[in-house]
Structure 1
Amino acid sequence: NRPIALAQANAVLNRIDLLCEIAGTMLFGVLLSRYDPVTCLKFAATLMIGSLPTMTALIWLTNKFSSGVLDRPKCSQSSCAPEGPRSETDSIFDLGMEAIKLGWKEYIQQPVLPASLAYVLLCFNIVLTPGSLMTAFLTQRCVNPSVIGGFSGLCAVMGVAATFLSANLVKRFGILKAGAVGLFFQASLLGVAVAVYWSSSLSQKSPLFFFLSMIVLSRLGHMSYGVVGAQILQTGIPSSKANLIGATEISVASLAESLMLGVAIAANDASHFGFLAVLSLLSVVAASLIFCRLLRNPTDEQRRLFSFDPLAI
């Protein structure tokens, strides 16, 4: 029941994660400029294997100092497992299917489902984001590699800046309204970017830079909602079901990305980029509308969950 403190904690964790990703990418880039790819991959594999004991020790210390917060929570049979004893003849496939069904059931019934669905819809937006599709599009346009690198670097910087912004948004607007601000900000800037794409020729520098700048700034809204959305789920999901619902959400989000990549593969010509950009924009707009419905028409349970945050509902 301390939304600002939780927002600050989530922001710090995300900030450390993003900074490590940036540092790792820069280090790998330096190594690639000096050594062959095989040597770099060997170094990366050795670094990961060598850091595993340290990570395991840190997790153990975390659990020890926090009085077993990472221990598996106890829950009733009705919510965590089907009643009745397990037979030794149960196959791994049957147990896996049972876990998937249970996870999907709990995911659908969670009280903050609209916030989770908004996050899943944002995963459809893989065109108007820094990544392989945008890199391929810019390369097809014969954009200078330094511009492509600068675009990706600025997007990473915006991600770090969003971790500072998210906690301030929660403090000023409340949890739910902070999520809505992030979504609407992203949708607005991506709408401008798509409009620039269709109304101008990106072969000229000015429209191209404006198009890329809108995408860079939209990362503020995207990453802000990532932090705030995680806090909404932390607030609305019981600890006994957090792993189950969280794993199901990640699976659905991965499926959304795979579906969008499938569409991109089907429309593999560079001339279809505008169509893919519109689909990405629509997914962000749909996420905003779904979240807005949660904000405007909360259920009694949602009011109870966020009753300690008077600015939220």
Structure 2
Amino acid sequence: MRKKIKSSFILTLAMIISLFVPFTTINAHAEGKSLSEAEAINLDQIVSYTDPTPSDYENKVNYYVFETTSAGIYSLNFINVGYGGQTSVQVLDSKYKEIYSSGWLSFSNAESKNVDLTLNKNSVYYVEAETDAYTADDNASAYIFRISRGSYINNVLSVGNDGSSLASPIEIDTDDKISYADPTPEDYINKYRFYTFKTSNNPGSKYNFNFINTNHDGETAAWILDQSYDSLYSSDWLDSSNEGFNIDLTLSPNSRYYIVGETDCYAGDDTASSYQFTVTEKINTQNPGKPIISSLTSGTKQFTVKYGTAAMASQIIKFLISKQVQTTGARFQYPPIL
């Protein structure tokens, strides 16, 4: 009996204290709002925010809340779209425990975070998004993001000033000479273009990226992304004519890669900034591996094979010649045409 009275007394005391000490959640350190006041958003809704008062140099924090409908993979695609500051994003569970944090993103559009999250069924989650204007720079920092069902590879979200994006990039071929000039430099807005190309079947090939700033009146920069949109290379700002970079990257065969080109017109100078680049395959002739057959076509008493890897092709050709088979380039036909 004594134990019951003691437990009851402690419970009553706790209830009385709770009347005078209100329950609070984690507070935003700039706007004073709590997670309990988070803005409700829907799945697939594109959410955007721009710092309305960047000149105060104070971090702005916004909270959003969404609910899942089933268990599984959900994607977060978050993009910094304000050149003048940093942004970051965190995802919290229903108990406000952090399950993902992006770190600071400092370059607009090309600086983004795409992540897959395994979430529970019919559960509440929070997104904490923050903007930070650089000291002595009153250009607004801004972001856009979206939460979607399924992997980010299928849900990637991005924006380009010319209508291109990582979801709908401009298709290019290797050896194409690509040129771009800011069509509206007088607006002083950074322009982004998104390109994509596919590698050949040749294993071990290196790809040369030759990117040049072709106008000294503005800055340019570029990023190279893999098929998961992770950065393989990012350049510094190129701010003088003919300044650029020339690098070789070993890429996976038969895979898609992306290039993001950026132009930045200096404030007070409305002359267009521009760039030019090429992507060139350098076939591995030292250790090419096995040839890859891309097609096999049958015919009347003959067949035609197409295959990759030029170095191995020469070995196959020698073998076929020894067997009295006529060859032409990377194709052979059996029996030989007389």
TM-score by length of 1: 0.25
**Whose Rg is larger?**
2
Structure with more contact order per residue of length (Cα contacts < 8 Å, sep ≥ 6):
1
TM-score by length of 2: 0.24
Q: Which has the higher helix share?
A: 1
Q: Which has the higher strand share?
A: 2
